[in-house]
Amino acid sequence: MDADLMLRPVDELAALVRSGELSARELVATSLRRIDELDPALNAFVDVDHEGALAAAEAIGPGDERPFAGVPIAIKGNRALAGMRLTHGCSLMAGFVADYDNGVVARLKAAGFVPVGTTNLPEYGIQPVTEPRAFGPTRNPWDAERTPGGSSGGSAAALAAGMVPIAHGNDGGGSIRIPAACCGLVGLKPQRGRVSTAPELGDSALVVDGVLTRTTRETAALLDVLAGYVPGDATWAPPPAEPFAASAAREPGRMRIAWTVTPPIDAEVDPRHVAAVQDAAALLADLGHDVVQADPPWRAEGLADLFGRVFGVQVALGIAYSGLIAGREPTADDMEPLSWALYALGRSIDSVAAALDAARLQALSRGLIAWIEGHDALLCPALAERPLPIGLLAGTPGDPMEAFRRAGEFTPFTPLLNATGLPGISLPLAHGDEGLPVAVQLVGTPASE
């Protein structure tokens, strides 16, 4: 019964609590028991808040009209949850306890969710695998010798294993869509600016928050919870014409869908991932949509290096922030070689060069956005490879950036969506001959989640 509860949709769980058929305490206690049983083998959580979660659940009674009152949720360890460590997967912040809730956490709590703990992520959220030196690797519930993806890998593993019925994540280069693909989950990267970056930032060029779920219906309902302007936001996405949940519940009508298996950078795509896209394209055609094979204008000389420079500046800012929290300048001994290499890269780029890199990436993005406006969606692989074996991206001591380049070959289809700001969703539409999930990705037009 415990495992079954954690596999049920979040609206159904909330309805059980609201009716009094199940108490919030029973539901949260079930999640905590599952974590105690399964997490020692998977290492999805950094901290589990048994006492705080149960106390919050005790305060929720039958009749609570909040849409998700009493439903447990995991929070990725790079968003502040009051009273819990905010680690960003790094040693410098390993002892820092947040005294406030991030805006996303506040909205989740206001909707009635009960956070049960914070989840593991790669150091500073850099890699598409979750193997931080500070907290150890998180393992994929489908195959414990493989990664659950990253950077929201702890959240994905917790959900896929049935420790929680839903989990928070965020995406700066694929960090929701990659672990969703590795773990057989639904993972939406919303439109840039859809979810506020309050209270720390006015906006973010690459990163947007969201959730990992088992169904598109739950994803849509949670986007209604998380979306919307917060005073002080520098930029924001236009509000939808109707609630996202309403859009997800009705037929979309006949859509124009392009598909491709050609990645934006040089990378070999696993035949099983190619077949999954081709099968999905055939399915969409059978459903009555207009489906055509096409080549998006997303290949450009030096694209991987350009994105790496823009990403490196963002990483350097994050590392500098951890130094402010720690009260001292970060050193190479504080972090993994790749983190230090990206920090050094970011610091080596002067302000004019950084602005020029951002402008060049925006110019490339405009071409892709203009092209995709001629369609309703683009279908492509979510990943180029199967979930990687644990340790494969550890890198070489002499050239830590080699691990960064190798990561790009694993995830060539995800980062450009962060550069463009376009919404994209990973959907688990197939299984390979190893029993591992295989996902496809749908890319939308601007603000078309």
Q: Which tokens in the block code for residue 405?
A: 């380049």
SS3 state at 284: helix
**pLDDT score for 44:** 99
Residues whose CB is less than 8 angstroms from the CB of residue 271 and which lie 6 or more positions away in sequence, other chains included: none
Q: Which tokens in the block code for residue 286?
A: 């059978």
Nearest to 323 by CA among 307, 346, 306, 305: 346
Residue with tokens 């059980």: 16
Nearest to 233 by CA among 191, 199, 192: 199
CA–CA separation, 358 and 231 (whole Å): 26
Residues whose CB is less than 8 angstroms from the CB of residue 328 and which lie 6 or more positions away in sequence, other chains included: none
Is 143 exposed, middle or buried, given 0-12, 13-18 or 19+ CB atoms closer than 10 A?
Answer: middle
**pLDDT score for 434:** 80
Strands 377-381 and 256-259: parallel
**Residue 189 pairs with which residues in a beta bridge?**
424
* 189 catalytic residue (yes or no): no
Residue with tokens 């973010």: 204
Predicted model pTM:
0.98
* Dihedral sign computed on CA atoms, order 272, 276, 281, 287: positive
Per-residue pLDDT reduced to its tens digit, 302-349:
888 999 999 999 999 999 999 998 999 999 999 999 999 999 999 999
**pLDDT score for 394:** 83
Establish how many alpha carbons lie within 13 A of residue 88's alpha carbon, considering only the half-sphere containing its beta carbon.
21
- Selecting among 31, 91, 109, 151, the annotated active-site residue is 151
Residues whose CB is less than 8 angstroms from the CB of residue 355 and which lie 6 or more positions away in sequence, other chains included: none
**pLDDT score for 301:** 86
* 151 catalytic residue (yes or no): yes
Phi, psi of 157 (to 5 degrees): -65, -40
Is 417 exposed, middle or buried, given 0-12, 13-18 or 19+ CB atoms closer than 10 A?
Answer: buried
CA–CA separation, 449 and 445 (whole Å): 8
* Dihedral sign computed on CA atoms, order 295, 300, 301, 303: negative
**pLDDT score for 300:** 87
Q: Which residues of the chain have pLDDT under 70?
A: 1-3, 395-397
* 91 catalytic residue (yes or no): no
CA–CA separation, 147 and 372 (whole Å): 32
Cβ atoms of residues 326 and 92 within 8 Å: yes
Q: Which tokens in the block code for residue 5?
A: 């509860």
- Selecting among 31, 76, 109, 365, the annotated active-site residue is 76
Cβ atoms of residues 346 and 315 within 8 Å: yes
- Selecting among 91, 152, 175, 204, the annotated active-site residue is 175
